[in-house]
Amino acid sequence: MFAPLIFILLFQLTHGQQLIYLNTLKGDNIENGINQTAPCSLFVSAQADADELLARIFVKTSDNLTMSLQDLKNAKEDENSGFLTPFSVTSTASLISNLTDEQLESLKGFIYVTSSEQANDKNFRVYDVDRFSIIETEHSGNYTLVFLSTNFETNPAHSSTISHWQQQNDSVVNIYRGIPGDRRRIYQWQLFSNPIVWDPQRGDSKM
Ligand SMILES: *[C@@H]1O[C@H](CO)[C@@H](O)[C@H](O)[C@H]1NC(C)=O
Ligand SMILES: *[C@@H]1O[C@H](CO)[C@@H](O)[C@H](O)[C@H]1NC(C)=O
Ligand SMILES: *[C@@H]1O[C@H](CO)[C@@H](O)[C@H](O)[C@H]1NC(C)=O
Ligand SMILES: *[C@@H]1O[C@H](CO)[C@@H](O)[C@H](O)[C@H]1NC(C)=O
Ligand SMILES: *[C@@H]1O[C@H](CO)[C@@H](O)[C@H](O)[C@H]1NC(C)=O
């Protein structure tokens, strides 16, 4: 009875990226295991949540690295950038908080957990869209830039504006909705691309 159960649990480790919503966590110092294959990186977006509450939620790795979600949320390269510093997990990690379940349920933020491929890619970058930011890619090569937003104040919520777009004439930029997963699958489903690609199979001539 028990052997097959353990077998299934082992394979519940997620290989792809995932979002963990803070309102799904258990409080009262219960360990919430992060079911992700290492290595992975963690990023927090929680603009609407009070720092006092986030300071009472911790991510803890099995090699004893600990950081509060307040620190993770504010792990910006500099004040003028939403560029987030990754929290690297090379072992297993869990989330633990002395808040109550009710306090946790009131939170609106989330944790973005990358896949191993994304964690190992130095051209994979995550930004929290909570301020004006200059976004630059300084080397040639392919980049994946992820923009997280938990800003509910804008109308519609989570909206932002890109301006002063500059791009080399031999480069290609695609913008996707959602979180980046299997590249082969999502590359056909961009919201916007430059140069513009018209896909007759999708028949979206109105775009
Ligand atoms: C990890 O998996 C366990 C068992 O499936 C589940 O109870 C727990 O909520 C998961 N943790 C997270 C952070 O999703
Ligand atoms: C909860 O954890 C925080 C951070 O470790 C600590 O400062 C605070 O005293 C704790 N509160 C309670 C009620 O245990
Ligand atoms: C982590 O901390 C625990 C408890 O303090 C200790 O028993 C364990 O040896 C530590 N592990 C590492 C890898 O430092
Ligand atoms: C960038 O991606 C394109 C399309 O997948 C590929 O053809 C090209 O070789 C990649 N360039 C580098 C430097 O990885
Ligand atoms: C692209 O830009 C380079 C220099 O900036 C220029 O020499 C080249 O002719 C341009 N190519 C096209 C197709 O416009």
Q: Which ligand is nearest to the CA of 69?
A: 2
Q: Return mean pLDDT, the chain.
A: 84
**pLDDT reported for residue 5:** 34
Ligand 4 atom with the smallest distance to the CA of 140 is: 13
Nearest 5 degrees, angle CA 46-CA 83-CA 56?
35
Closest CA to 207 of 195, 194, 191: 191
List pLDDT tens digits, range 134-190: 888 888 888 999 999 998 888 888 888 889 999 888 888 888 888 877 554 445 567
At residue 15, the pLDDT reads 62
What pLDDT is attached to residue 156? 85
Q: What is the CA radius of gyration of the chain?
A: 19
Looking at the CA of 166, name the nearest ligand.
Answer: 5
